[in-house]
Each structure stands twice: as structure tokens, then as C-alpha cells.
Structure 1
Amino acid sequence: MRLKFIWIGIIFAILWSSASAATKFGLQSAQPFVIAVSRFFLASFLMLGVSHGIFRKRLPVGKEWKQLIIYGLLNISIYLGLYVLAMQKIAAGIGSLGTATNPVMISFISTLFLGQKMTVKNIASLLLCMAGVFVAAYPLLENSYASTDGILILLASMLSYSVGAIYYARQKWNDLNTLTINGWQTLLGGIFLLPVLLFTYRHEQNSWDYRLIGSVVWLALPVSIGAVQCWLWLLTVNPLKASYWLFLCPVFGFIIASITLHEPLGIYTLMGVMMVVAGLYIIQQQRAVKK
């Protein structure tokens, strides 16, 4: 189980970290909510078609609809709606860096409000991963731009993501399939964003060229479907340990942004990667204490 947890964590981090660069490419051809809503509808239709049409999984019932609405608002409408706005104002690498705030938020929210205990290994891993991320980010912060409002919007989106992760982990989903959960929360989140899209839409600012189509397809398939399915599985195993994989997202994000968008990558990135991997090793080695 531990090896599976590690491999799925790495796959999640790679796919999730690619979202920043993919969004930046899409923003060259379209408004942010055009990208977001198109992505959500494409991904949700595919997931629900497979879940209900091919696998014949059951529909949500009763209070499960309420849970899906709340989770869709937190994890799709608010989080990704704000995220795509922030990406207009910050570099792709800094957008990936924002994911590193989630383990911190999840850890402290769990500790303050849910009674989750923070062990010495938890704290050591947290501090080492945080330090590694900021070491890796140093050349990016020095050479790329980021506006104050862009950073604030990014942090607000990450707070919604962290609250959504904890909310999902604490709900009873019974036997509802994760693909079904992901499909419906994505569809509901996209529907909630439709009024915002219609209000802000400007035809002349959108061109369905290869950059926009490629961005939407990538964000819908590998990210919204692949990465989120991995994330939901990690959350069901251990939400606190799952959150630490978010520290790898900036590392992979820097590499992807360097290759695709030519953002800086050097010795600081290597040092940061080593620190993050060391921090992740500490938390993965932790064993449950037996009475």
C-alpha cells in the first residue's frame, strides 16, 4: 500500500503541476472563464459518461447531492475560478508555488479545528518541504513578475482548495464511486461559474486556436480527470499525508514552466528538489504508533 501511495502521489504531482503552464498557454487566446468552464464541462461529461454509461455506477442520492454541491463550490467554482484569474497576473512557476501553501493550510486547519495531532516528524517534514520550495522558487521570484492582487487571489484560491480537501475527507460517501464524485462536483462547479462567464464574456478576446483547444483538452483530461482521481484516492487513504504531495507540485511546475515557457531553472531548483524529497521521505517513513 505504501509503494502504491508513493507512485500515485508522484503521478498526481506531475499532472497537477502541469496545470499552470497549460493555463498560461490558454490565456494567450481566451478569457480565463472561457478556459475554466470549457474545461469543466468537457471533463465532467466524459467522467459521467464513463461512470454511469459504461460502468453503470449509481447516481448520488439524498444528502450526497448537498455534499457534491458544497465540494463543487469549494474545489471547482471558488478554487479554480480564482486560480485562473490569478494566472493572468503571475508567472506559471509562481502559480505552481501556490500549491505549496496547501499542506500548511490543511495541517493547521486540521490541528486548530479538527483536533488532528501534529507529530515531530510532521513538523520536521513540513518545515523542510516549505524551505525546499522557497529555495527552488528564489530565481523565479527574482526574474519574473507577480502583482500583489494576483498573489492575494492565488492565496484565496488555495485556502478554498484546502478547506475543500478537508471537507471531502470528512464526509461519508458510502459506496459512491470516486469517478462519479469527481464528475458531478466538476459539472456542478462549472454550472455555478456559468453566470460569471456570461457576464464577463467578450467575443473579440477569444480565439479557438490550437493554444486554447490544447489548453482545454489538457486541463480536462490529464488534470481534471487524471490528477483529481489520484487526489481523491490519496485523500481517502490519509488526508494529512496526501497534502504533502502538494509540495512536489512546485518542483515539477518549475521544470515544466522552464521547458515550455523558458522560466529560470538552476542550482536553486536542484537544491529545493532535494529538500522537498527529503521532507517527503520523512513523512512517508512515519509509522502509526501502536498502543
Structure 2
Amino acid sequence: MQKLSRKQTAFILTFLVVVWGVNWPLSKIALSYTPPLLFAGIRTLLGGFILLLAAMPRYKKLRLKETWYYYLVSALLNIVIFYGLQTVGLLFMPAGLFAAIVFIEPVLLGIFSWMWLGERMYGMKIAGLFLGFAGVVIISAGGFTGEVSAAGILLALGSAAGWGLGTVYVKKTGDKVDSIWMVTVQLIAGGLCLLSVGSAVESWSSIQWEAPFILNLLFISTFVIALGWLAFFTLVGSGEASKVGSFTFLIPMIAIFCSTFMLDEAITINLIAGLLLIVVSICCVNINFRKQKGTI
């Protein structure tokens, strides 16, 4: 994939951080109108159809007979697991807190990128991984006292793991599939899967098709899902996956800020302390010393 200029990278990163940050409180609000799995399926499927308009002129690059396996694995990790667990998990916890736990993903991505992409691992990065784990423990501590749902914590961690594995998989298979078709097909396939499960365990009649929900759905499907995933994988394809992941630590901060004003969610000492540790950990994971010794 073609390298991006600094201005292009800065613009895409800013767009991604903002829309993915505001996504969390918006998704929490949407869940007051709809069951979680049906909502997850509708928004990802709609996002896939929006991207299909851009992908169709490149239909010769789809090569579905040879590449269907890559699309399905990516859809399972990045859509079914990531969005499925995420949307259900938001029912158990405040949006800002849930986002903070999910965004341990950049730390997991650092580990996965070392294991499967051959990216460097050194002392500072290892220290960062321990700090990130400590941050999640501090944020999650309420789950063991009943103040925060333990189920919500597990769903957030599962969502983060699915996203991290999915990012590495897309990076690793990037030379085998077209990037726009990868995002488009994974959204459509994952959306259909989520809708199938949602239709089996939830009721379509429970969805309240009111104007606030419809506008919310259209915004999330267009900017968060379609353009957001395209932006994310464009960045991953043009550089080291773990370095791109490092910038996403800004997303839970925006999510918490927006949730405070939009949902009146509280900011606790545990949350602030845990977030600070996660931010420090991600910085450590992605500091690159050119003359660093002891590289694993």
C-alpha cells in the first residue's frame, strides 16, 4: 500500500480519533431504542453497503473465489467479535468506562504485531505492556466489588482482543486482497452474521424507529463504520500496525469527555489513574530507540 504523507496521516488520524471517540456515547444512546445485536448488525451492514458504492468500480480486484477465506476471518474478528461483544457490553457499563477498557487494544496489538508481524520487542515495550495491564486492572477493580459489572469487563476485553487480532490479520494479508474490498466485505458479511444471531434471540418489533435513533444510526454507519474502518486500515496498511494503534489512546479520552456531557457519566479516580497508566504504557510500547539493545 502507498505510503501516506505526514499531512495525510495527521488528517486521517484526527478524523478517526474524533468519530471513534464520539461513537461510544452515541452507541449507548442508540441502545435505548434498539436491542444490541440487531443494532450492531444494522449499523455494520449499512456501513458495508455505503462502502460498496466505492468498491463496485474496483470489482475486478474482488477475486472472491480466491480470497473469500481472508474476508470471512476478518469479518469474524473485526465485526462479529469486536462489534458484537462491544454492543452487548455497553448494556452493562457506562460508555466511557467500557471504551477505556476496550482501548487496551493498542497494547495487545503491540504483542500480536511482535508475534505475527515481526515488529520489534524491547525492554521499554515490555514495561509498557505491564503498565497497560495494571491500568486495566485498576479500571476494572470495581467489577470485583460489584460497583462495575464483571461481565462488562470480560466483554470489553474480548472485544479488544478481537480487534487486535483482526488488525494484525488485515495487515498480514494486505498484499493478498484489495483494501477497500476487505473493509466492504467484512462489514457486509459480519453485519449479516450479527443480524442472523440478533433475529434469533431478539425482536425486530423492539426497535423504536424514531428520528433520534435514525439520525444516530446514519451517522454511525457512515462516519464511524464505513469511513472509520477505511481510515483505520489505510493507516495500518501504510505503516507499522503497533505505531498506528498507539494513537488510538486518544479515543477513550474523547469518549469519556463526550459521555460526561451527553450521558452525565461520572469520572472516578480509578478511571483517571487507570487511563494514565494505559496512556503511559502505550507510549512505552511505541517508543522506538534506533540503537535500542536487547531486541527480542
> Given residue 250 of structure 1, which amino acid in structure 2 is its aligned partner?
P
- Of stretches 61-70 and 257-266 in structure 1, the one that deviates more from structure 2 is 257-266
Q: Given the alignment, which residue of 247, 254, 264 partners 2:266?
A: 264
- Partner of 2:60, secondary structure, is coil
Q: How much does 1:163 deviate?
A: 0.8
- How large is the Cα RMSD of the aligned pairs? 3.3
Counterpart contact for 1:86–1:150, Cα < 8 Å? yes
Q: Given the alignment, which residue of 47, 52, 55 partners 1:51?
A: 55
The 3 A distance-change label for structure 1 pair 270 and 73 is: closer
> Given residue 200 of structure 1, which amino acid in structure 2 is its aligned partner?
V
1:37 lines up with 2:47 in the alignment: no
The answer for the alignment partner of 2:172 in structure 1 is 170
The answer for the alignment partner of 1:219 in structure 2 is 220
Q: How does 1:2-41 map to 2 (within 5 A)?
A: 2=6, 4-41=8-45
Unaligned segments of structure 1, at least 5 residues: none
> Given residue 82 of structure 1, which amino acid in structure 2 is its aligned partner?
L
Q: How much does 1:173 deviate?
A: 3.4
The 3 A distance-change label for structure 1 pair 230 and 134 is: farther
Corresponding residue pairs, total: 285
Q: How much does 1:47 deviate?
A: 0.5
What are the superposed Cα offsets for residues 52-103 of structure 1, whole Å, 9 maximum, x if unpaired? 15xx453411432210111011100121011111011111001211232112
> Given residue 95 of structure 1, which amino acid in structure 2 is its aligned partner?
F
Unaligned segments of structure 2, at least 5 residues: none
Counterpart contact for 2:124–2:284, Cα < 8 Å? yes
TM-score scaled by length of structure 2: 0.81
Tell me how far apart the structure 2 counterparts of residues 175 and 158 of structure 1 sit (CA, whole Å).
24
The answer for the alignment partner of 2:198 in structure 1 is 197
What are the superposed Cα offsets for residues 198-257 of structure 1, whole Å, 9 maximum, x if unpaired? 212224422111232123112211111222112101211111111212211111111111
The answer for the alignment partner of 2:242 in structure 1 is 240
Identity %: 22
The answer for the alignment partner of 1:111 in structure 2 is 114
Tell me how far apart the structure 1 counterparts of residues 13 and 99 of structure 2 sit (CA, whole Å).
16
The answer for the alignment partner of 1:77 in structure 2 is 80
Counterpart contact for 1:22–1:218, Cα < 8 Å? no
What are the superposed Cα offsets for residues 1-54 of structure 1, whole Å, 9 maximum, x if unpaired? 34543443333222112221111111111101221111122111111112215x
Q: How much does 1:285 deviate?
A: 6.6
The answer for the alignment partner of 1:210 in structure 2 is 211
- Partner of 1:118, secondary structure, is coil
Tell me how far apart the structure 1 counterparts of residues 154 and 236 of structure 2 sit (CA, whole Å).
26
- Partner of 1:160, secondary structure, is helix
- Partner of 1:223, secondary structure, is helix
Tell me how far apart the structure 1 counterparts of residues 287 and 161 of structure 2 sit (CA, whole Å).
28
Counterpart contact for 1:99–1:246, Cα < 8 Å? no
